[in-house]
Structure 1
Amino acid sequence: MLTTEAGLSTAQVAERIAAGQVNDVPVRSGRSVGEIVKANLFTRINAIMGVLFGVILAVGPIQDALFGGVIIANTLIGVVQELRAKRTLDRLAIVGAARPVVRRDGHAVEVTSADLVLDDLIELGSGDQIAVDGVVVEAEQLEVDESLLTGEADPVVKQVGDPLLSGSFVTAGAGAMRATKVGRAAYAARLAEEASRFTLVNSELRGGLNTILRFVTWLIVPTGLALIVSQYLVNSDDLPEAVRRMVAGLVPMVPEGLVLLTSVAFAVGVIRLGRRRCLVQELPAIEGLARVSVVCLDKTGTLTDAAMAVAEVRQLDPTAPVPELLGLLGAADERPNASLRAIVEAYPAPPSGTGSTAGWRIGERIPFSSVRKWSGATLTDPDGISAQWRLGAPDVLLPAGHPALTEADEYGARGLRVLLLARTTTADGLAPEPVHPVALVVLAQRLRPEAPDTLRYFAEQGVAVKVLSGDNALSVGAVARTLGLPGAEHPVDARELPTDPAELAEVVQRHTVFGRVGPQQKRDMVAALQGAGHTVAMTGDGVNDVLALKDADIGVAMGSGSPASRAVAQIVLLDNNFGALPAVVAEGRRVIGNIERVANLFLTKTVYSVLLAVIVVLSQVPYPFLPRHLTIISSLTIGIPAFFLALAPNHERARPGFVGRVLRFAVPSGVVAMAATITSYLVARSVYGGDLAAETSAATLTLFLVGLWAVAIIARPYTWWRILLVLALGCAFAVILVVPFLQEFFQLSLVGTTAPGIAVGLAVAAGALLELIRVTLRRTGADTPAVRRQPAGTP
């Protein structure tokens, strides 16, 4: 039974704060400012480029060191964007954070989890996440789920004196606990530090980029060493020139902007979602959304408003005082769920007192449980006669075939929720039968206005929707039919589902609407879909959704949901707006699709740079470029277009195999670019006979045109801004070629018409080969989203 212990005093709280006995667990959602600066500044790529930048500064001229300015700008952009994202996350995290109720100075007050101190007295109710370790000091039918920590699915009944572990959550009942371990000493904090349970979302994009960078590193080291020796031997009479051309060969091998753009894309995604009041608790979750193929939805709070209203009470026993009974059962639950709150509003709770009202007395209480699907209490009438009363799902409380179930099903077929008020002779909380039905309580729910458009969006995008609800299957099916959800005409009662994972997966994939789904079944259904190869997003707001939210690839919780559901989800919709999900999914697709798109540009550059260096080493000729030339080419054909393309709309659902698809385009494209460039360079050498500036200019023209053609392919399908982007890049290069100051600054001079004409011809031939590569990839199905037709958009 509950007591009235006063909790800590203000002075005692101050003493514990001064002693450092505070729940100072680090925030999971982001890095500190220092860590952000360090992570963006001290990178392997910046170290390589910094050394090369220093070498060029030593030999000059300054225009060959322009690539260093690009690296500095990239680092600043990365830091600024991540800091903006951090501010957005921190601001939203304050709004979405759980606020435990503690007793201090005899009063119940809400505090943040970080404000909890040792020995705090924390009140507990259904759906509460336990933030610190402690011991139960008050308990009334208190049930706790520890599955996130122990893997044990069944709730544990807790009595006074029993231990509680942080990371578990209350599934039923009420009580209070005293904090015995806070901060890093708590169980969940230790698990998080050991990374044994609370792992980040798997990121194929992050893993793929790491694979690419490792591959590039292995290519650069031997090729770079050979190039250094080659350029020293070829230009032994001019050491500064040898150094400049050696650096020119090394710089483009490094995909310096790819990691930056990935970070920027993630950060911009966080900021955009933040504007829609979506809290992203793990950054890679944005990527995971791009891969979602199935969205599992709860009905209440997602398709319908959580708030309900009593539409009708159908009295089955005319002798029973139904209004009084409903009011008493409402008063018996200290934390009523949405259904019971609607009943309390229609039949107000009795006046506060010593546990009696108009002669009635409330005895033992059994709180609502998602597993039981009913609640109850022992009520004693004014004549002193006691009875056990139950309020819950009719098809759970009554045996199959009972006449009252026919009426309940008729209401359910109209999309209404039905509860049964019944009397039983047993006091066993686990055995409600046999019961005597007294009344059917009919509750009306309002459909969310954004639900039809949201479901239509998922259908258009090829994302399957599954409705997993604890309500009656007929009722859930009626709501889904009203919303136009395909397959809603055949709802399935989850109590009849097979337990074999393979059979379960087959049923879950074939059907759309499921009713009477228990918490463990939701978890099993998510696992079945994942086992069938689907990427699953789960949305929910209640304690019964926690297990499925945790196991889903992406968990999405409502901001008004239970603290437990918000704690385990990767994304929290703070405004409870189900209509925000399309924007969330679209943001994920934009990030992963666009990073894959621009990765083609960066990897094409790396491939042609490495191959060009190999050919130069074997031919024993001066490297065809100075750093300044490759700064122009990299900026106009990779850096600038990649920045715009990485932030553009993109609605293509991502597929596995990111690294393979990128390499299938980048490797042949890099070979083509290298072949055209080296041919143009060798032809120019035969035409100009030693005029290194003219030879370099011809090779630069060829490589730029081939690179621009690659951009034109990657930018498809064309929109006005994409066409304008390609034209602007071409015009910028043309300006460099015709303005005398820029010609001299960048050492570009097209002499005569023979070599430049051949350079343009070779670029056109290379462009035709790039088009052939694109067509071949499309026909073989090995194409990337970057070279496949997809929905157009504007920035």
Structure 2
Amino acid sequence: MTIGGGRGPVGVRTVAAMLRVEAGLSAPEVAERIAAGKVNDVPARSSRSVGEIIRANLFTRINAIIGVLLIMILSVGPVQDALFGGVIIANTLIGVVQELRAKRTLDRLAIVGAARPVVRRDGRPVTVDASEIVLDDLIELGAGDQIVVDGVVAEADHLEVDESLLTGEADPVVKEPGDQVLSGSFVVAGGGAFTATRVGREAYAVRLAEEASRFTLVDSRLRAGIDTILRVVTWMIIPTGLALVASQLLVNRDDLPEAVRRMVGGLVPMVPEGLVLLTSVAFAVGVIRLGRRNTLARELPAIEGLARVDVVCLDKTGTLTDSRMEVVRVDLLQQSAPIEAVLGVLGAMDGRLDAIAAAYPRPPQWTVRDRTPFSSARKWSGATLCDPSGVTATWRLGAPDVLLPPGHPVLAQVDAYGAQGLRVLLLAKEDSPAALVVMSQRLRADAADTLRYFAAQGVAVKVLSGDNALSVGAVARKLGLEGASVDVRTDPIDLDASIFGRVGPREKRDIVAALQARGHTVAMTGDGVNDVLALKDADIGVAMGSGSPATRAVAQIVLLDNTFAALPAVVAEGRRVIGNIERVANLFLTKTVYSVLLAVVVVLSRVPYPFLPRHLTLVGSLTIGIPAFFLALAPNAERAREGFVGRVLRFAVPAGVLGAGATITSYLLARRVYDGNLAAETSAATLTLFLVALWALAIIARPYTWWRLLLVLAMGTAFAVTLVVPFLQDFFQLELVGLRAPGQAVALAVAAGLLLELVTRARPRTR
């Protein structure tokens, strides 16, 4: 039973079946329209096309810069100095492959979670994909259905449509035959059918769906922070790069190829080439990992957003409890009333009353004269029934505290059942209570563990339910959720409370907005039509896969297997992305800072740039490129924090300054020792820079696990091997001569590393 939330698994089309008058299109008419192209053949895209993925990863501003520098190096040789081009190619290929994998996952899950409307053809209801609807199709409507194309109402039985996603107005609109319905709206009560008048790209829903479900990184705080960093870096690089170009052409005026090599060697490391790429890869891998858990992330920032959430608002039915219920008992309040027969008729009319329909079969010879379908705003449904003897009466079934005045003696009995966690509906004849229908609610097996997870992570949980506050509170306490209960109809709303009862669609929306106004990041989960407005306005909307098409349409995350326990995995995936990209950004920005400072000092000192491109390719690969790839994809459970850009700069700037200072000092001292042996001078500077960069990596990799420690040691070992293997010495042009300059290089690196430790430990940490 799912009154007040969700749709029952049986009887959903009862209203439409009762109204079936028109036969709809015939098979030849459908074929004719398909041949004429009058079909809703624009699929909602969940990802970029293959061509767009390749173009987006290949034709980037950073690749253009590196490509020009690569051409310049290839024109003067040798090939060792063009290794940085191979790194860019490898990174681009990794980005394309990972995003293609994410595309396959998104496309597969989008098909599973897509709305499948029911159309009437040859007089029979047929379930089709939204893309198979043709012009003039007759589409049936039931409560919770999303309207996927524009049309005109043909049949209506108390049909109420919510157009808030189009107009912003939350009040449902009653639709009669001849009225227009627009795609993007959804049914909140009643049923009927409408004729499709605009399909394909002419329908509003297509544009809405394409924008809502596109594989995108927009509106991401993480991406916005990275863009801010890149803008700052760009303004640093432009003047420094121009000065370095002029400097090396003047210093090496007798050797143009050497001037080009030294100039390119100074420019390449300034570009944080892997930062944007690894961000995209981390998000793409997140999509793949969540897809394995049958969780569809319609927008990539949703993964990041849920990791920042500090309040989760839950609908009880379908989230904490199973949507199916069972009638436990019926307390008669009017002994002579035909309670079982009336419940049988009402249960057969409404698919939401599947528990009552299962307990009481519909009796013969009862007729329905008029009916009022259930809506979350009313919290009751009703009908005027005529029994076999011809006696007519109006019956209502719904929330007791809505149908009865405050203080009515029956409400005390209702509260007693509610305190036990039982669900109670009142059956009223005319204006008199006739019976109480008591139903059990089965708790979801995974709900308690999930609530404990959120409590341990400092995430507040608010239950927003249309049910009686006592009943909701009893269910919540069984699951270990403590806190005050509020009945929003009678009590002032206290945002510090944990349980809110008798919450309508508008009240859910208002509570979410009030929490956001307090500065909270709010996630809303639900499966019913009454959750749509709150899902839409929450920072992150999470819908159950079995929920109404309307909830799935507005949610950023859809739990396709209806498992509330999947939420911790989504939170963990977001934290992994945010935390790891921050680690990676520290490494890339440290390289940019020391590269810019080295260039500035070289320009002012009028000396040859201390490195060839091959040296910085080696240092960058071992201290940034290879480690960053592993760190970006590693598990990370640290809670998301504000101030991403500030924290990155507070590490990268001092690390870069210390690295540049130690390196240029080592280089200038080596020039005195070797007096013109440029290879030996460069080797001493390379040793210093590598050791400082490795020390920075060791700090970023903390807290250590076995693989992180192994990663740092492996990078150090690889550099040591390069120094001792003759072929690699020649290939990278590294030559440590004597002990004095190498000793000075190591001493300077150790001093810089110790200072970096002091600076790092002195940084304020916000938890």
TM-score (structure 2 length as normaliser): 0.96
Q: CA RMSD in A?
A: 1.6
Inter-partner Cα distance in structure 1 for 2:360 and 2:308: 47
| 1:769 partnered with 2:763 | no
- Name the stretch that deviates more: 536-545 or 24-33: 24-33
Inter-partner Cα distance in structure 2 for 1:194 and 1:546: 18
Note if contact 2:418-2:468 (Cα within 8 Å) is conserved in structure 1.
yes
Taking the TM superposition and a 5 Å limit, the aligned residue runs for 1:114-193 are 114-190=131-207
Inter-partner Cα distance in structure 1 for 2:675 and 2:156: 93
Inter-partner Cα distance in structure 2 for 1:349 and 1:69: 74
Q: Deviations over 1:144-193 (max 9, x none)?
A: 00011101110000000000011000000000000111121113345678
Offset of 1:198 from its aligned partner? 13
Q: Which residue is 2:523 aligned to?
A: 537
Note if contact 1:142-1:172 (Cα within 8 Å) is conserved in structure 2.
yes
Q: Which residue is 1:595 aligned to?
A: 581
Judged with a 3 Å threshold, the aligned counterparts in structure 2 of structure 1 residues 530 and 252 are, in CA distance, closer, same or farther, namely: same
| 1:210 partnered with 2:227 | yes
Q: Which residue is 1:790 aligned to?
A: none
Taking the TM superposition and a 5 Å limit, the aligned residue runs for 1:136-285 are 136-190=153-207, 202-285=219-302
Structure 2, unaligned stretches of length 5 or more? 1-17
Note if contact 2:216-2:299 (Cα within 8 Å) is conserved in structure 1.
no
Inter-partner Cα distance in structure 1 for 2:43 and 2:261: 47
Offset of 1:373 from its aligned partner? 0.5
Q: Deviations over 1:39-80 (max 9, x none)?
A: 001000010111111111111111111110110000000000
1:443 to 433, 436, 439: 439
Inter-partner Cα distance in structure 1 for 2:44 and 2:589: 36
| 1:641 partnered with 2:658 | no
Q: Deviations over 1:374-427 (max 9, x none)?
A: 111110112211111001000110111111111111111000110011111xxx
2:489 to 495, 503, 506: 495
Inter-partner Cα distance in structure 1 for 2:333 and 2:85: 83
SS at match of 1:645: helix
Q: Which residue is 1:793 aligned to?
A: none
Inter-partner Cα distance in structure 1 for 2:170 and 2:269: 54
Note if contact 1:28-1:281 (Cα within 8 Å) is conserved in structure 2.
no
| 1:458 partnered with 2:454 | yes
2:391 to 359, 373, 385: 385
Amino acid paired to 1:590: R
Judged with a 3 Å threshold, the aligned counterparts in structure 2 of structure 1 residues 407 and 272 are, in CA distance, closer, same or farther, namely: same
| 1:555 partnered with 2:532 | no
1:694 to 680, 689, 692: 680
SS at match of 1:733: helix
Offset of 1:548 from its aligned partner? 0.6
Inter-partner Cα distance in structure 2 for 1:129 and 1:245: 63
Judged with a 3 Å threshold, the aligned counterparts in structure 2 of structure 1 residues 77 and 154 are, in CA distance, closer, same or farther, namely: same
Inter-partner Cα distance in structure 1 for 2:625 and 2:135: 53
Note if contact 1:245-1:627 (Cα within 8 Å) is conserved in structure 2.
yes
Inter-partner Cα distance in structure 2 for 1:214 and 1:200: 17
Inter-partner Cα distance in structure 1 for 2:282 and 2:208: 31
Amino acid paired to 1:88: T
Amino acid paired to 2:479: L
1:347 to 354, 360, 365: 360
Inter-partner Cα distance in structure 1 for 2:287 and 2:696: 30
Offset of 1:656 from its aligned partner? 2.4
Offset of 1:467 from its aligned partner? 0.6
Inter-partner Cα distance in structure 1 for 2:201 and 2:747: 67
Inter-partner Cα distance in structure 2 for 1:181 and 1:199: 28
Inter-partner Cα distance in structure 1 for 2:491 and 2:623: 56
SS at match of 2:19: coil
Note if contact 2:98-2:284 (Cα within 8 Å) is conserved in structure 1.
yes
Aligned residues: 749
SS at match of 1:7: coil
Note if contact 1:201-1:285 (Cα within 8 Å) is conserved in structure 2.
no
Inter-partner Cα distance in structure 1 for 2:404 and 2:218: 43
Q: Which residue is 2:637 aligned to?
A: 651
2:648 to 638, 650, 662: 662
SS at match of 2:334: coil
Amino acid paired to 2:276: V
2:669 to 661, 670, 683: 683
Q: Which residue is 1:514 aligned to?
A: 500
Offset of 1:194 from its aligned partner? 8.9
Taking the TM superposition and a 5 Å limit, the aligned residue runs for 1:401-412 are 401-412=407-418
Taking the TM superposition and a 5 Å limit, the aligned residue runs for 1:63-82 are 63-82=80-99
Amino acid paired to 2:105: T
SS at match of 1:295: strand
Q: Deviations over 1:418-457 (max 9, x none)?
A: 0011111xxxxxxxxxx21111111111111111111111
Offset of 1:675 from its aligned partner? 0.5
TM-score (structure 1 length as normaliser): 0.92
Amino acid paired to 1:495: R
Q: Which residue is 1:474 aligned to?
A: 470
**Percentage of matched positions with identical amino acids:** 77
Note if contact 1:366-1:376 (Cα within 8 Å) is conserved in structure 2.
yes
Note if contact 2:44-2:209 (Cα within 8 Å) is conserved in structure 1.
no
Offset of 1:25 from its aligned partner? 3.2
Inter-partner Cα distance in structure 1 for 2:486 and 2:733: 74
Offset of 1:741 from its aligned partner? 0.6
Inter-partner Cα distance in structure 1 for 2:67 and 2:238: 16
Inter-partner Cα distance in structure 2 for 1:709 and 1:136: 70
Inter-partner Cα distance in structure 2 for 1:396 and 1:637: 67
Ranked by relative contact order (alpha carbons within 8 Å, sequence separation 6 or more), the top structure is 2
Inter-partner Cα distance in structure 2 for 1:738 and 1:624: 21
Inter-partner Cα distance in structure 1 for 2:695 and 2:292: 36
Offset of 1:655 from its aligned partner? 2.1
User: Which consecutive aligned stretches of 4+ in structure 1 deviate over 4 angstroms post-superposition?
Assistant: 190-195, 197-201
Judged with a 3 Å threshold, the aligned counterparts in structure 2 of structure 1 residues 682 and 54 are, in CA distance, closer, same or farther, namely: same
Inter-partner Cα distance in structure 1 for 2:634 and 2:332: 60
| 1:48 partnered with 2:65 | yes
Q: Which residue is 2:427 aligned to?
A: 421
Inter-partner Cα distance in structure 1 for 2:692 and 2:217: 40
Inter-partner Cα distance in structure 2 for 1:211 and 1:768: 30
Q: Which residue is 1:725 aligned to?
A: 711
Note if contact 1:201-1:553 (Cα within 8 Å) is conserved in structure 2.
no
Judged with a 3 Å threshold, the aligned counterparts in structure 2 of structure 1 residues 199 and 644 are, in CA distance, closer, same or farther, namely: closer
Q: Which residue is 1:328 aligned to?
A: 345
Offset of 1:496 from its aligned partner? 3.1
Q: Deviations over 1:650-677 (max 9, x none)?
A: 1122122221221121112111111111
Q: Which residue is 2:592 aligned to?
A: 606
Q: Which residue is 2:10 aligned to?
A: none
SS at match of 1:172: strand
Offset of 1:28 from its aligned partner? 3.9
Q: Which residue is 1:501 aligned to?
A: none
Inter-partner Cα distance in structure 1 for 2:538 and 2:506: 13
Amino acid paired to 2:376: S
Offset of 1:204 from its aligned partner? 0.7
Q: Deviations over 1:447-486 (max 9, x none)?
A: 1111111111101111111111111100000011001113
Note if contact 1:392-1:421 (Cα within 8 Å) is conserved in structure 2.
yes
